[in-house]
């Protein structure tokens, strides 16, 4: 081998090494950005699931309240026909539980204070970035925020339904003016009339019966839970 050939080989080796190092560095940069994207997506999924869990738990708590107000048309109107920011107890514990299941922590959860019924959740991923290719990123955890709200699927119509089986019969009712012993005691067999109807999307109609809470539809049929703008 001539000296000219050896010189060319000696010059090519450093260039080759430099090119390989450059390619490896680019690969690490792409890996770092890919890892950051995966962590952001994971954190956002955890925040979405946590906010939805808190809102759904709050919706579940309303079921018992509805059953205790089956004879109160004003309450039903406030629930289905108006903004309903009433709290049934903070359910942020549910958000924290779901965040842990989705490998996230540092949960900040709060009830919405803008007239909507729902929850805002902020959290961080449990796992930090594994590399420091980009200065200051090693160990940094992804952050995410989500808002979930509860909306009524139905409206309430106050339209009492008479019970024809208990309609007084004038021919059999005694004349109070001639009855020697009139009584005002309530009839134990009298049926409390319905306070109205709850009409829902999809054609569902619930005739509210104060004496039969089992007729109440599933809460998911009465109220939707979904993610919303922050």
In a domain, 143, yes or no: yes
Question: Which of 86-95, 109-118, 182-191, 194-203 is least confident?
Answer: 182-191
Pick the closest to residue 207 from 174, 137, 160 (CA basis). 160
How far is residue 216 from each of residues 68, 77, 195, 212, measured CA to CA in Å?
12, 16, 13, 8
In a domain, 52, yes or no: yes
Q: Is position 23 within any domain? A: yes
What pLDDT sits at residue 131? 56
Residue 157 β-bridge partners: 197
**CA dihedral angle for residue 77, residue 82, residue 84, residue 86, rounded to 10 degrees:** -60
pLDDT band per the 50, 70, 90 thresholds, residue 20:
low
How far apart CA 150 and CA 112 sit, in angstroms, is 11
Give the C-alpha separation, 215 to 108, whole Å: 38
Joined together, the tokens standing for residue 84 give 């309903």
Measured between alpha carbons, how far is 44 from 56 in angstroms, rounded to an integer? Answer: 18
Tens-digit pLDDT profile for residues 187-200: 555 567 899 999 99
Stronger pLDDT, 15 or 82, i.e. the higher one: 82
What backbone torsions phi and psi does residue 112 show, to the nearest 5 degrees?
A: -65, 145
What is the predicted pLDDT for the residue at 10? Answer: 55
Q: Which residue has the higher pLDDT, 35 or 230?
A: 230
For 36, the token pair is: 């950051």
Q: Is residue 163 part of a domain?
A: no
Indicate whether 109 belongs to any domain. yes
Average pLDDT over residues 77-96: 87
Which residues fall within 8 angstroms of residue 203, CB to CB, at 6 or more apart?
none
| pLDDT on residue 4 | 52
Residue 207 within a domain: no
The rounded distance, in Å, linking the Cα atoms of 143 and 40 is 7
Residue 22 belongs to domain spanning: 8-69+87-151
- Tens digit of pLDDT for each residue in 143-197? 999 999 999 999 999 975 554 444 455 555 555 555 555 555 555 555 678 999 9
Chain-wide mean pLDDT for the chain?
79
pLDDT exceeds 50 at position 18: yes
75 or 11, greater pLDDT: 75
pLDDT at 60 over 50: yes
Q: Would 18 be classed as within a structural domain? A: yes
Q: Is residue 176 part of a domain?
A: no
d(CA 14, CA 16): 5
Structure tokens at 50: 């946590």
Residue pair 125/99 in contact by the 8 Å Cβ criterion: no
Best CA proximity match to 124, nearest among 105, 146, 102 = 105
pLDDT value of position 157? 95
Q: What's the pLDDT at 196? A: 95
**How many domains does one find in the chain?**
1
Beta bridge partner(s), residue 146 = 121
Distance CA 148, CA 223 (A): 13
Q: Is the pLDDT of residue 138 over 50?
A: yes
């Amino acid at each position: 081998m001539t000296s000219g050939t050896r010189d060319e080989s000696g010059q090519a080796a450093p260039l080759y090494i430099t090119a390989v190092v450059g390619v490896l560095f680019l690969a690490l940069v792409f890996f770092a950005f890919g890892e950051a994207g995966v962590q952001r997506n994971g954190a956002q999924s955890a925040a979405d699931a946590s906010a939805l869990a808190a809102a759904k738990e709050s919706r579940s708590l309303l079921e018992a309240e509805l059953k205790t107000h089956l004879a109160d048309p004003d309450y039903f109107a406030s629930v289905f026909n108006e903004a309903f920011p009433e709290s049934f107890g903070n359910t942020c514990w549910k958000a924290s539980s779901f965040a842990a299941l989705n490998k996230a922590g540092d949960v900040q959860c709060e009830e919405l204070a803008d007239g909507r019924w729902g929850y805002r959740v902020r959290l961080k991923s449990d796992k930090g970035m594994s590399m420091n290719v980009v200065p200051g990123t090693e160990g940094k955890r992804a952050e995410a925020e989500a808002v979930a709200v509860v909306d009524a699927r139905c409206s309430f119509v106050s339209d009492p339904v008479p019970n024809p089986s208990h309609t007084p019969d004038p021919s059999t009712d005694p004349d109070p003016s001639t009855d020697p012993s009139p009584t005002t005691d309530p009839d134990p067999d009298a049926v409390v009339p319905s306070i109205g109807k709850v009409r829902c999307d999809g054609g569902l109609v619930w005739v509210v019966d104060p004496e039969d809470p089992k007729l109440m539809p599933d809460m998911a049929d009465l109220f939707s839970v979904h993610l919303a703008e922050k």
